[in-house]
Chains A and B, each alone.
Chain A
Amino acid sequence: MAEGYIELYNVKKSFGPKHVLNGVTLSVPRGHSLVVIGGSGTGKSVMLKCILGLLHPDSGSIRIAGEEVVGLKGKARDDYLARFGMLFQGAALFDSLSVWENVAFGLIQGRHMARAKARDIAIDKLGQVGLGPEVGNLFPAELSGGMQKRVGLARAIAADPEIIFFDEPTTGLDPIMADVINNLIVDCVKRLGATTVSITHDMASARKIADDIAMIFKGEIIWQGAAKTIDHGGNPYVDQFIHGSAEGPIQMDVLKP
């Protein structure tokens, strides 16, 4: 595989006695879209938070464009974070700010842009996710879940980031709105030429937005390959997951009645 733009090597993270990441090794080429699939509690979110620096890995290395980013501090960390956009699972909009202020937040606070100019960009980005300028003056609490997700997407792409993370972008949405979001993600990513990492357990979403798919299980990547090949990967864990079957090598800790 080509030299990755995002490279994780043997990343480990434990919370007390609980080992969440047991040595994750992953590589994403520049401009590619990687989707990490896996069940609940397999370490997907923790992996993402480690890359973002919200959590500190216990050991291992994370490189972005060949640069080690574990343990960055102060200005270097701010510069590093400025290259990211992130769409959170629950959108995580600031509910004390209006929609356009949410979208423009990174521009105003992070890049010290004038409010009027940031507002114009925010309205433009809202247009890109299919929301009219009148939505800009509403507050997040006044929006539906699907609209919140779209505003979250607009905020994630507002600063034209090189790398975008999507945390369960379609969770909690109806299938049609989920597909709308998937299309928007594909469009936005293409327009920006960004490298993306998404985590999801929604296979329809994964097939739509992924160039490559990786499967995480018990804190390790057990399979990685092109999205087209996932149906013929021959990995019993992956097969069980994509068919959504309770029977197979992955056993849930559910007490039988």
Chain B
Amino acid sequence: MFAHIGRATLALLGEVGRVTLFLKDALLQGLTPKIFVRQILEQMMRIGYFSLPVVGLTAFFTGGALALQIYLGSSRFNAESLVASIVALGITRELGPVLAGLMVAGRVGASIAAELGTMRVTEQIDALVTLATNPFKYLVAPRIIAAVVTLPILVGIADVIGIMGGYIVGTRSIGLNGYAYIRNTADFLQFNDVSSGLIKAAVFGFIIAVMGCYHGFNSKGGAQGVGRATTNAVVSSAILILAANFALTSLLFAD
């Protein structure tokens, strides 16, 4: 029993250490020349642009469902006018960044881990080294940079679409006044609500890219190893996103 707990703890600490070393290399190499601009732009397309449909749909339906739930709850004590402001708050502060983060973790984290994992087991990463190209600079850094830059943009768009989802449900099926809905949203939202969500998004992007790269980079043993790397990348980034979200919420709204 104790041996089991001890072994699990050691394994966890070992993993934390390895991720830290990986991060050190990634940041050290990523922030010094040479910077692969072409790779960064390509990854921005793949991580950011192609995630738009998934993230947009998620935000739209979440905003709609949120409006419905808040209406059902608030109508019990005649507070229907709060629907717009609570939807806006919920989307920008929590649900926008967290759901976008989780969706991107599933979409992008998995694909990064699978791609780098396959490159590892087919010796393409070794081949990079023999062609005098540092794989941290060429593969890892562009993905991290692209994810950190594009996730806030994605979440900004998700905020707008989520609020729009709430608006459509609010005006069409609940029967709230459209003009009042928008006024309530605009008057109530503060800069801090949106910016905190965007900060979270950047952190989540970092987590997704680092976990995807780390697990892909260290995968071994053929197809099964790549599959395991993909699973680990998605699971670990999802859990880290939720944990980081809690930590960031307590930090950003500490007053």
Scan residues 103-127 of chain B and give those whose CB is less than 8 A from a CB of chain A. 119, 122-124, 126-127
A92 and B123 contact, CB distance less than 8 A: yes
Among the 9-residue stretches B79-87, B131-139, B188-196, the one with 4 or more Cβ atoms under 8 Å from chain A is B131-139
| Nearest CB of chain A from residue B89's CB, rounded to whole Å | 42
Known: A90-B122, A109-B131. 9 other contacts (CB 8 A): A81-B129, A81-B132, A86-B130, A90-B123, A92-B127, A93-B127, A105-B133, A106-B131, A106-B133
Number of interface residues of B (CB under 8 A): 14
A109 touches B133 (CB 8 A): yes
When distances are taken between beta carbons in the complex, the residues of chain A under 8 Å from B122 are 90, 92
The DSSP consensus for interface residues of chain B is helix
Q: Known A89-B123, A90-B122, A92-B123; judge A84-B130 contact (CB<8 A).
A: yes
Of all chain A residues, the one with the shortest Cβ separation from B124 is A92
Complex: A94 Cα to B123 Cα, angstroms:
10
Whose C-beta in chain A lies nearest to the C-beta of B125? A92
B142 → chain A closest CB, angstroms = 12
- The answer on a CB contact under 8 Å between B126 and A88 is yes
Write the residues of chain A forming the contact surface with B, with a CB cutoff of 8 angstroms: 49, 52-54, 78, 81-82, 84-86, 88-90, 92-95, 105-106, 109-111, 155
Cβ-neighbour of A54 out of B119, B129, B131, B132 (below 8 A): B129
* In the complex, number of A-B residue pairs with CB atoms less than 8 Å apart: 51
In the complex, what residues of A have CB within 8 A of residue B133's CB? 105-106, 109-110
Chain B residues with CB under 8 Å of A49's CB are 126
**A4 CB to nearest chain B CB (Å):** 21
Complex contacts, A110 vs chain B, CB 8 Å: 131-133
9 A-B pairs closest in CB distance: A110-B132, A106-B131, A92-B123, A92-B127, A86-B130, A109-B133, A81-B132, A88-B123, A82-B132
Once the chains are docked, how many angstroms separate the CA of A95 from the CA of B126?
Answer: 14
Q: Which of A92, A93, A95 is the most central at the interface, judged by chain B CB atoms within 10 Å of its CB? A: A92
Chain B residues, CB < 8 A from A90: 122-123
15 cross-chain CB contacts under 8 A? A54-B130, A81-B129, A85-B130, A86-B127, A86-B130, A89-B123, A92-B122, A92-B127, A95-B124, A106-B131, A106-B133, A109-B131, A109-B132, A110-B133, A155-B131
Contact A52-B132, Cβ < 8 Å, known A88-B123, A90-B122: no
A130 → chain B, closest Cβ, in Å?
Answer: 21
Bound-complex Cα distance A155 to B138 (A): 18
Residues of chain A within 8 A of B126, CB atoms compared = 49, 52, 54, 88, 92
Question: From B131, which residue of chain A is reached at the shortest CB distance?
Answer: A106
Distance between B30 CB and nearest chain A CB, rounded to angstroms: 15
A81 contact from B123, B124, B130, B138, Cβ within 8 A: B130
- In angstroms, Cα B129 to Cα A86, docked, is 10
Roughly how many angstroms separate A33 CA and B134 CA in the complex, as a whole number? Answer: 28
CB distance from A68 to the nearest CB of B (A): 19
Once the chains bind, are A52 and B131 in contact (CB under 8 Å)? Answer: no
Chain A residues with Cβ under 8 A from B124's Cβ? 92-95
B127 touches A94 (CB 8 A): yes
Are A52 and B123 interface neighbours, CB within 8 A? no
Q: Nearest chain B CB to A185's CB is how many angstroms away?
A: 17
Contact yes or no, A106 B123, CB < 8 A:
no
A106 touches B132 (CB 8 A): yes
A88, B127: Cβ atoms closer than 8 Å: yes
Are the CB atoms of B127 and A52 closer together than 8 Å? no
**Chain A neighbourhood of B127, CB < 8 A:** 86, 88, 92-94
Chain B residues near A52: list those with CB within 8 A.
126, 129-130
Return chain B residues, CB-CB under 8 Å to A78: 132, 134
CB closest residue in chain A, given B115: A96
Which residues of A lie under 8 Å from residue B134 when comparing CB positions? 78
Contact assessment for A105 and B123 in the assembled complex, using a CB-CB cutoff below 8 Å:
no
B126, B130, B133 — most chain A CB neighbours (10 Å) = B130
**A179 CB to nearest chain B CB (Å):** 24
Which chain B positions have C-beta within 8 A of A93? 124, 127
CA–CA, A84 and B127, complex, Å: 11
Residues from chain A with Cβ under 8 Å of B129 in the complex: 52-54, 81
B-side contacts of A94, CB under 8 Å: 119, 124, 127-128
CB distance from B179 to the nearest CB of A (A): 50
- Please, how many angstroms separate the alpha-carbon atoms of A119 and B128 in the complex? 18
A-chain residues with CB within 8 Å of residue B130 when the two chains form the complex: 52, 54, 81, 84-86
Q: Which residue of A lies closest to B127 (CB)?
A: A92
In Å, the complex CA distance between A81 and B129 comes to 8
Residue on B nearest A78 in the bound complex, by CB: B132
Q: Which of A53, A85, A94 lies at the interface centre, i.e. has the most chain B CB atoms within 10 A of its CB? A: A94
Distance in angstroms between the alpha carbons of A82 and B122 in the assembled complex: 21
